[in-house]
C-alpha cells in the first residue's frame, strides 16, 4: 500500500509513469525490493519496451496468425498481450502505462503462486495416473515411478511437501485419491492394481493437482510437443522410416515408428516458440523472453537425455537463421583476440532421439501434460461454428463448454471439458482474432471474425493446434 501511495503521488508526468513501469519490471527480474521513490534520483528504468527482459508486447494474432494461415516460418519474437487480465472498463481511471504495470504485476503473482508451492504426494500420483498409466498400474511400479518423479522435481529445485517411506507415501496418496481411482486386489498376488475411474468427475478431479507438476516441467513439455510435431510431419511426408506393428492378447494393433531422422535446431526452436504463445498465464515465466524460453525448451530435452546432438558434415557452411536473426549480445574473451570471429558462420546443429528404435516413454509422458489444454483449444475452435454471434462473453463460454463436454464424452478425454478450460479457450481465441470483442455498455459481446467465418481458415487453425497433440 505504501508503494502504491508513493506511485500515485510522485507519478506526475506520463514520462515518469512510463519510466517507473520499466524500473519495476527490471527490479522484479533482478529479484530486488520494489522502491518507486528512487526512480527520479537514480534515473533507472528508462529503456525502450523492446529492450525489456520479457520482450515487447504484441497481440497474439500478430504473433501466430502469419504461421497459422499462411505458413510463414519467420519468427516473431515478442510477448503475448493479455488485455483481458485487466480490462479498461474495470479501471477507467488508469492510463495505459499504469494498466500495463498492473497487468505485469498480476502475471508475476499468478506465476509466483504456483512456483512457490511445494509438490504433494497426491500431485505426483495423479500426474502418473493421468499422463503415464492411464490404463492402470501395479502399486509396486507406481512406487518406482513416484521415486523417479520426486528425484526429477528435486533436480529442478522444486520443494516437496511430504516425507516418510515410499510405500507409506504412495498408500497415503492413494487413500486421498481413492474416490477417483479403482483399486483391484488379487488374492494370488499381494500387489494391487490401480486404474483411474473413467468418469468426468474423476478425471477432472485428478487433473487439478497435476497442474503444479506440469508447471515444473513446462519447458520440457513444450520441447517434447515440438519434437512430436516434427516427427508427425516426417511420418506424413513420406520420408523413409521403418514401421513395426504388434499386439498382445487381442489388443488393438498400433504401429511403432522407428525414425532415423535428424531434427533441425532452428525448426525445433520455431515450433517451441509458436507453442509458447498458446500457453495460458501461470505457466509462462513473466520475465523470460519468448525466444529464451524456446531455446530453453530444446536444451532441456538434451539435459534430460531425450535428445542427443548430432554433427552434420556439409560441403558448404550452413547458417542457422534463428541465431542470425536473434543476434549475439555477448562475446567471449577469445573473441576479443579473434578479429574474424564475427565473420564465421555458426555451425549447423541437429538432434536425434536418444532411443530411435523405440519412442521414448518419457517424451510422450511430457507431451501428455499439455494435451488437455491443447485439445480443449482445438475443440473450442471447432465449436465456433455453433456460436450465434454476437453474444455476451458468459454465454459464449457456456456454449463452448457444452461443446467441450460433448466432444469429451465422444473421445473419453474428460480433462479437456472443464469450465476453466472453456474460459481459457475463449480468451485465447479472442486474442487470436477468431472472436472479436464488441463493447456493450458495461459488458462485452463476442462475435466471430469474418476471417474465421471461412471454413478453410478454421481448419488451418485446428491443424496448427493438433500438430502438438500426441494421442
**Is residue 44 domain-resident?**
no
pLDDT tens across 78-104, in order?
A: 778 887 777 776 777 778 778 778 888
The answer to whether residue 405 is domain-embedded is yes
Residue whose entry in the numeric block shows the C-alpha cell 536473426: 325
Cβ neighbours of 71 (radius 10 Å): 9
- CB-CB neighbours of 160 under 10 Å: 16
Q: Is 60 helix (H, G, I), strand (E, B) or coil?
A: helix
Q: Specify which of 289-298, 349-358, 438-447 reaches the highest per-range mean pLDDT.
A: 289-298
Of the chain, the percentage scoring pLDDT greater than 70 comes to: 72
Residue 435 has pLDDT above 60, yes or no: yes
- 425 shares its domain with 442: yes
Q: Find residue 258's DSSP bridge partners.
A: 242
Do 334 and 230 fall within a single domain? Answer: yes
Q: Which residue, 88, 83, 89, is CA-closest to 103? A: 83
Q: What distance in Å separates the CA atoms of residue 469 and residue 467, rounded to the nearest whole number?
A: 6
The total number of structural domains that make up the chain: 3
Neighbouring residues of 384: CB distance < 8 A, sequence distance ≥ 6: 429, 434, 435, 448, 452, 458
Residue 341 pLDDT: 46
Q: Are residues 135 and 211 in the same domain?
A: yes
Whether 368 shows a pLDDT value over 60: the answer reads yes
C-alpha cell at 152: 526429477
CA pair distance 180, 198, nearest whole angstrom: 9
Q: DSSP letters along 287-336, please?
A: TS-HHHHHHHHHHHHHHTTSEEEEE---SS----HHHHHH------GGGG
Q: Is the pLDDT of residue 219 over 80?
A: yes
In a domain, residue 6? The reply is: no
Q: What is the pLDDT of residue 424?
A: 94
Asked if residue 374 and residue 450 are part of one domain, the reply reads yes
Domain boundary among 353, 378, 401: 353
pLDDT of residue 51: 38
Measured CA to CA, the distance from residue 167 to residue 128 in angstroms comes to 16
Q: Are strands 57-58 and 79-80 parallel, antiparallel or unpaired?
A: parallel
Residue 426: all three cell numbers together: 475463449
Q: How far is CA 465 from CA 201, 271, 317, 382, in A?
A: 26, 11, 34, 11
Q: Are 134 and 198 in contact (CB under 8 A)?
A: no
Does residue 130 form part of some domain?
A: yes
CA atoms within 13 A on the CB side of 329: 5
Q: Are residues 282 and 174 in the same domain?
A: no
- Whether residues 130 and 230 share a domain: the answer is no
Domain assignment of residue 433, yes or no = yes
Residue pair 55/289 in contact (Cβ under 8 Å)? The answer is yes
Tell me: do 236 and 295 sit in the same domain: yes
Do both 291 and 379 map to the same domain? Answer: no
| Bond preceding residue 390 cis, omega within 30 of 0 | yes
Q: Is residue 60 part of a domain?
A: no
User: Is 421 part of any domain?
Assistant: yes
Provide the 10 A C-beta neighbour count for residue 150.
Answer: 18
pTM of the model: 0.79
pLDDT tens track for 13-69: 344 344 444 444 444 444 444 433 343 344 343 333 433 444 567 888 988 999 999
Report d(CA 160, CA 120) in Å as an integer: 6
- CATH number, domain of 395, equals 1.10.10
Is there a single domain that holds both residue 196 and residue 284?
A: no
Longest CA–CA span in the chain (Å) reads 79
Q: How confident is the model at residue 354 (pLDDT cuts 50, 70, 90)?
A: confident
Q: Residue 92: inside a domain, yes or no? A: no
Q: Which domain holds residue 200?
A: 121-216
Same domain, 232 and 341: yes
Q: How do residues 299-339 score in pLDDT, each as one tens digit?
A: 999 998 889 887 655 544 443 434 434 443 333 344 444 44
CA 164 to CA 304: how far, in whole Å?
27
**Rounded Cα distance, 352 and 350, in Å:** 7
Task: Name the helix (H) or strand (E) containing 96.
Answer: helix 96-115
Same domain, 335 and 378: no
Q: What are phi and psi of 444, to 5 degrees?
A: -140, 135
CA dihedral 89, 93, 95, 98 (to 10 degrees): -100
- Are residues 230 and 290 located together in one domain of the fold? yes
Distance CA 263, CA 227 (A): 8
pLDDT in tens, 385-433: 999 889 999 999 999 999 999 999 999 899 999 999 999 999 999 999 9
Amino acid at each position: 500500500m505504501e508503494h502504491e501511495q508513493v506511485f500515485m503521488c510522485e507519478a506526475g508526468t506520463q514520462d515518469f509513469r512510463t519510466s517507473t513501469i520499466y524500473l519495476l519490471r527490471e527490479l522484479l527480474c533482478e529479484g530486488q525490493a520494489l522502491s518507486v521513490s528512487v526512480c527520479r534520483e537514480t534515473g533507472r528504468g528508462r529503456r525502450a519496451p523492446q529492450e525489456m527482459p520479457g520482450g515487447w508486447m504484441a497481440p497474439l494474432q500478430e504473433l501466430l496468425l502469419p504461421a497459422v494461415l499462411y505458413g510463414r516460418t519467420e519468427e516473431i519474437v515478442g510477448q503475448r498481450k493479455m488485455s483481458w487480465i485487466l480490462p479498461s472498463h474495470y479501471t477507467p481511471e488508469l492510463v495505459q502505462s499504469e494498466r500495463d504495470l498492473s497487468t505485469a504485476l498480476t502475471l508475476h503473482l499468478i506465476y509466483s503462486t504456483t512456483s512457490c508451492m511445494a509438490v504433494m504426494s497426491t500431485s505426483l500420483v495423479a500426474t502418473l495416473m493421468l499422463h503415464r498409466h492411464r490404463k492402470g498400474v501395479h502399486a509396486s511400479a507406481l512406487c518406482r515411478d513416484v521415486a523417479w518423479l520426486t528425484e526429477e522435481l528435486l533436480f529442478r529445485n522444486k520443494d516437496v511437501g511430504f516425507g516418510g517411506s515410499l510405500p507409506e507415501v504412495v498408500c497415503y496418496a492413494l487413500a486421498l485419491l481413492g474416490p477417483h481411482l479403482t483399486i483391484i486386489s488379487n488374492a494370488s498376488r499381494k500387489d494391487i492394481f490401480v486404474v483411474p475411474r473413467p468418469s468426468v468427475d474423476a478425471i477432472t478431479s485428478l487433473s487439478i493437482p497435476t497442474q503444479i507438476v506440469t508447471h515444473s516441467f513446462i519447458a520440457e513439455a513444450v520441447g517434447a510437443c515440438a519434437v512430436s510435431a516434427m516427427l508427425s510431419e516426417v511420418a506424413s511426408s513420406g520420408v523413409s522410416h521403418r514401421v513395426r506393428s504388434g499386439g498382445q492378447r487381442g489388443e488393438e494393433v498400433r504401429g511403432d515408428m522407428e525414425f532415423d531422422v535428424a531434427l533441425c535446431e532452428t525448426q525445433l526452436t520455431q515450433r517451441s516458440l509458436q507453442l509458447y504463445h498458446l500457453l495460458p498465464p501461470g505457466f509462462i515465466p513473466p520475465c523470460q523472453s519468448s525466444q529464451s524460453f524456446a531455446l530453453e525448451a530444446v536444451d532441456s530435452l538434451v539435459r534430460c537425455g531425450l535428445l542427443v546432438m548430432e554433427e552434420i558434415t556439409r560441403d558448404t557452411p550452413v547458417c542457422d537463421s534463428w541465431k542470425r536473426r536473434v543476434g549475439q549480445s555477448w562475446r567471449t574473451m577469445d573473441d576479443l583476440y579473434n578479429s574474424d570471429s564475427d565473420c564465421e558462420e555458426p555451425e549447423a546443429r541437429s538432434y536425434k532421439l536418444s532411443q530411435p528404435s523405440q519412442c521414448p516413454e518419457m517424451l510422450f509422458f511430457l507431451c501428455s501434460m499439455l494435451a488437455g489444454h491443447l485439445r480443449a483449444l482445438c475443440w473450442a475452435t471447432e465449436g465456433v461454428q455453433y456460436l450465434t454471434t454476437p453474444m455476451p462473453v458468459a454465454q459464449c463460454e457456456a456454449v463452448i463448454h457444452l461443446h467441450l463436454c460433448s466432444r469429451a464424452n465422444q473421445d473419453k478425454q474428460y480433462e479437456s471439458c472443464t469450465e476453466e478450460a472453456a474460459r481459457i479457450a475463449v480468451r485465447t481465441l479472442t486474442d487470436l482474432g477468431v472472436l472479436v470483442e464488441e463493447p456493450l455498455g458495461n459488458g462485452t459481446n463476442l462475435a466471430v471474425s469474418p476471417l474465421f467465418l471461412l471454413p478453410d481458415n478454421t481448419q488451418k487453425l485446428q491443424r496448427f493446434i493438433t500438430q502438438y497433440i500426441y494421442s
